[in-house]
Amino acid sequence: METRILGLHHVTAIAGLAKRNLDFYTNVLGLRLLKKTVNFDDPGTYHFYYGDKTGSAGTILTFFPWEGIRQGRKGAGMATEIGYAVPEGSFDFWMKRFEKHNVTYNKPSEKFGEPYLTFLDPDGLKLELVIPKKADARQPWETSEVNAEVALRGFHNITLTLNNVKPTAEILTEVFGYKLLEQSGNRYRYATDAVETAHIIDLVELPSEGRGNGAGGTVHHIAFRVKDEATLMQFHDKIAARGLNITNKIDRNYFYSLYFREPGGVLFEIATDNPGFMVDEKVEELGTHLLLPPQYEPRRAEIEAVLPKLD
């Protein structure tokens, strides 16, 4: 099991206003702010991490909030929907909460026998609340307004929109060990049995769909989980052997990563469990400090002066 892809690790998306993004995901959705750091390539921009109490793989949604960024366009070659597992009976709570906070949402619908509720974040990112066939037993982060009876458990599924699903499906099945579970029209559901949650990828085939335009309200990349660096490098070799360009190992402070663009155009990352989010903060302190990559620590005063105010 340890040498396999263990479902999803995290998803990274692009936002606009930092404070608006922070308020929505912590106050409205009730996720925990795990890390407040900066973009490795643009230290004047925050990098927020949201998830459960400890930042468990499969619960982590991260954002680059670029102030003033234009609106992106969802399309082919992009992850276009992020599905979160929620408990049965929670939709009424969430619809009332969305109305209270002026969140755009659709009436509940169903796919693959599972009810889901679609909504948009303030930048137009498309998310879904899904009631899984098998209740999700993960312990959620709770707030004073969002308790365990209704709270988001972590990812259920991610949807990729593609002009042709076949090359992407081959990466999922032949390299990552996923299997086709079900098909409904032009939607193909793949999953791994290596883990029980955050293990589903849906491929939607739209041959004439234009390419997506990555900017505000779009997903930047999705990251798959492996146990450690040795496993990470095994996948490096497997992917390189297929003729795909893949990066060398990159230290992201909280995990080690590889990046490659799968044949359908979606940016994939593979990320390790180690060293985890408690490497620079205790569990009770997660998200309470501005943490900088070591190379930027000498510039802390300069960086703090240009980062958007959050209070």
Residue-wise pLDDT for 124-178, tens only, equals: 999 999 999 999 999 999 999 999 999 999 999 999 999 999 999 999 999 999 9
In a domain, 311, yes or no: no
What is the tally of structural domains in the chain? 1
In a domain, 241, yes or no: yes
The verdict on whether omega for the bond into residue 308 sits within 30 degrees of 0, i.e. cis, is no
In a domain, 286, yes or no: yes
CA distance 16 to 63: 9
| Phi and psi at residue 243, to the nearest 5° | 85, 15
Q: Indicate if the alpha-carbon torsion angle 10, 64, 246, 272 is positive or negative.
A: negative
Exposed / middle / buried, residue 184 (Cβ in 10 Å: 0-12, 13-18, 19+): exposed
CA distance 129 to 87: 9
What would the two tokens of residue 280 be? 């620079």
In a domain, 273, yes or no: yes
Q: What's the CATH code of the domain at 183?
A: 3.10.180.10
Q: Is the pTM of this model over 0.85?
A: yes
Closest by Cα among 14, 160, 12, 158 to 78: 160
What would the two tokens of residue 105 be? 């949402």
Sequence-distant (≥ 6) Cβ neighbours of residue 40 within 8 angstroms: 47, 252, 293
In a domain, 123, yes or no: yes
In a domain, 116, yes or no: yes
pLDDT at 239: 98
Residue 156: give the domain boundaries. 8-306
pLDDT at 2: 66
In a domain, 3, yes or no: no
Asked if 157 and 200 touch (Cβ cutoff 8 Å), the reply is yes
- For 28, the 3-state DSSP assignment is helix
In a domain, 266, yes or no: yes
pLDDT at 3: 86
Asked if 57 and 138 touch (Cβ cutoff 8 Å), the reply is no
Q: What residues in the chain have per-residue pLDDT under 70?
A: 1-2
